[in-house]
Every structure is written in C-alpha cells, then in structure tokens.
A = this chain, B = another copy of it.
C-alpha cells in the first residue's frame, strides 16, 4: 500500500516531495543514494534548497520497505580496483503501479499548495490592497 498521501494541512512535507522526485529519477539513471542526492541538490540549488543525505536515505528505505523499489548491490568503478559498494535502486512491478497512483495524488497536492501560496500573494500583495 502506498499509504495514501494524507497531509491535509499546511504545505506538503519534504519527505513526500523527495519521494515524488525519486520515483521519477530512479528509473531514469542507475543512480545510487549519494548520486541521486547530488543531482537533486544541483537541481534545487537556485531555489536555496539542499536536502540532506539523511532525509534522502529515509525516503529510499521507506520505498524499499513498501516494496516499491528493489535494491541491488554493486561495486562502484572498476572491479578489482575500486571496492566501494553502492546500492542501485530499481522500481518493482508493484512500484510501477504505485508510482502512477502516487503521482496523481501528488499532482493534486502540488496544485493545492500552489493555490495556497498564490492566494497568499494575492491577499498580501495583490492589487487594490495597500
């Protein structure tokens, strides 16, 4: 179960936000944890957002627990040369379906948050108001 996204509250949680990105990024490249993190940090740099490795791993663990991704251990670099072990993530079949469902939920949630923030701009900076 994808644990239906509930958060009826203020803005969406970082955890949910990262989950959305990971579900989309994992299938694309064969990135491992820190690699995915680097990419996201680069992506969000101009928005002043730099997620922590801790938070990213927590999402990956959660996705693993839920059976949405599968872990594959590999060696980074040349075998026999570099012994650094990394973990590559793949979407499971179940994950494929959950991903689509989750994306739909998150689209609604993103729209809700955009609405809320846009309203704040209108209410506090809008025309006709001091």
Contact = CB atoms under 8 A, between A and B. Distances in A.
Interface stretch (A30-38, A64-72, A104-112): A104-112
Contacts of A17: 10, 120
B12 A11 contact: yes
Interface residues of A, number: 34
Nearest to A129: B24
A8 B14 CA distance: 13
B20 A120 contact: yes
A49 to B, nearest CB: 6
A123 interface: yes
Minimum-distance CB pairs A-B, first 3: A10-B14, A47-B116, A11-B11
